[in-house]
Homo-oligomer: A and B are copies of this chain.
Amino acid sequence: MGTQPGRSVTSKVLALLDAFSPATPALTLSELARRAELPLPTAHRRVAELVAWGALERGDDGRYRIGLRLWEVGSLAPRGLGLRELALPIMEDLYEVTHENVQLAVRQDLELVFIERIAGRRAVPVLTRVGGRFALHATGVGLVLLAYAPTEVQERVLAAPLERYTELTVTDPVRLRRRLAEVRRVGYAMSDRQVTMDALSIAAPIRAPEGVVAAISLVVAHDRADPVALAPLVQAAGRVLSRALGTYRQPTGRVPLRSRHERQ
């Protein structure tokens, strides 16, 4: 046959889902086939099945998009909506007190994923998107998640080139390592103009019995008078959430902690 035999059908289906991204939420069949590296007829067949089930939807423009059914199933992810449900009230409290941006993120492999965000209208604009990914080495939540990640994860992040976002972004592995130690020591992270030159964020860990599973942060204007004064606030929120996680039980068991695998 033509393209590499040895690919499972499942992997092809997943490759089709992988083709979608925040930048490309709508794709034609040809684009899908190209991105998933599948022959057109194959893509056609698999996509038809996905549409029939509701994993994909076909718009009136002929393009395919992620379907509501997949969103429904995805909403069952304990580290997604589950965590969000738990955290939202505390995030709202934090917003009420500060009227600044509040963010919640978890680590997935070597990046972070934003689970929820409360964007204050009067606050600094932030460019994050719920469901979006970002590097671990720059943001407040990223530094927290990295600081408490398994050594192996830290080493892999430190080994790779660290992207620079502003002139202040720490891209030196040695300096970053020192910052991570500092984060562990004080129990919170401050990221000053590491991503944009107008913002600064303060983040704290959220712990479950097995370790740090998420991070919460405030994003404020970089020239705010007393950023450090916010740290206890964010830390308190983190501790409340940690307690909630510790006692939280699903009907059929606890929120999972870290997946046993690392992608790729």
Contacts and interface: CB of A to CB of B under 8 A. Distances in A.
A125 B18 CA distance: 38
Interface in A56-97: 57-61, 63, 65-82, 85
A106 interface: yes
Q: Contact size class for A?
A: 35 or more
Kindly report how many copies of this chain are found in the complex they form together. 2
A68 B50 CA distance: 20
Interface in A1-60: 8-11, 13-14, 17-18, 20-27, 46, 49-55, 57-60
B251 A53 contact: no
A86 to B, nearest CB: 13
Nearest to A15: B53
B76 A80 contact: no
Contact of A81 (B57, B71, B82): B71
Contacts of A106: 68
Given A26-B252, A252-B25, A253-B26, A77 B65 contact: yes
A26 to B, nearest CB: 4
29 contacts: A10-B13, A21-B76, A25-B76, A25-B78, A25-B251, A25-B252, A26-B256, A27-B252, A53-B263, A54-B263, A58-B259, A58-B260, A60-B257, A60-B260, A63-B252, A63-B253, A65-B77, A65-B78, A66-B74, A66-B76, A66-B78, A66-B80, A69-B108, A70-B77, A71-B79, A71-B81, A74-B75, A75-B80, A75-B130
Interface of A: 8-11, 13-14, 17-18, 20-27, 46, 49-55, 57-61, 63, 65-82, 85, 106, 108, 113, 129-131, 133, 210, 250-257, 259-261, 263
